[in-house]
């Protein structure tokens, strides 16, 4: 079956530090890959996505590249802000079955001044 593994948190960084949150996946076919973010008290929001190998998703300064050879989709940001503090979820979906999402366990990011 499909699965997503992401690094455990919490990750604590100082403002303007570089961020990497690792994500690897197992899938039977060729999935689409996503990063969702959950701010305190809010619902999950799509941050970025990539639908095929070597695609790079980007949004709000965050980037992730679909690496088929390493089955990875690591999230990066060059300079984090306090407002980026949230829980980040890596997820995948495969064609068929409505494209239901399989999520990782989430990584909490705390950014301090």
Partner 1 sequence: GAGVSQSPRYKVAKRGQDVALRCDPISGHVSLFWYQQALGQGPEFLTYFQNEAQLDKSGLPSDRFFAERPEGSVSTLKIQRTQQEDSAVYLCASSLDAGNIQYFGAGTRLSVL
Structure token digits, residue 94:
């495969």
The residues binding partner 1 (CB under 8 A) are 4, 36, 41-46, 49, 89, 91, 95, 97-106
Which has the closest alpha carbon to 37: 55, 49, 54, 25?
49
Q: Which residues of 70-99 are buried (b: 16+ CB within 10 A; e: fewer)?
A: ebbbbbebeebeeebbbbbbbbbbbeeeee
Residues 79, 112: Cα–Cα separation, whole Å: 12
Closer by beta carbon to partner 1, 29 or else 97: 97
The distance of closest approach from Cβ of residue 105 to partner 1 in the complex, given in angstroms and rounded to an integer, is 5
Closer by beta carbon to partner 1, 36 or else 80: 36
The distance of closest approach from Cβ of residue 109 to partner 1 in the complex, given in angstroms and rounded to an integer, is 15
Closer by beta carbon to partner 1, 17 or else 94: 94
The distance of closest approach from Cβ of residue 85 to partner 1 in the complex, given in angstroms and rounded to an integer, is 17
């Amino acid at each position: 079956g499909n699965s997503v593994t992401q690094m455990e948190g919490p990750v604590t960084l100082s403002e303007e530090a570089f961020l990497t949150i690792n994500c690897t996946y197992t899938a039977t076919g060729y999935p689409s890959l996503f990063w969702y973010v959950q701010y305190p008290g809010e619902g999950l929001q799509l941050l970025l996505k990539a639908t095929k190998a070597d695609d790079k998703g980007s949004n709000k300064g965050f980037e992730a590249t679909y690496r088929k050879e390493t089955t990875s989709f690591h999230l990066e940001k060059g300079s984090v802000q306090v407002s980026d503090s949230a829980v980040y979820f890596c997820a995948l979906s495969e064609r068929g079955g409505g494209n239901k999402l399989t999520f990782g366990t989430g990584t909490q990011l705390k950014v301090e001044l």
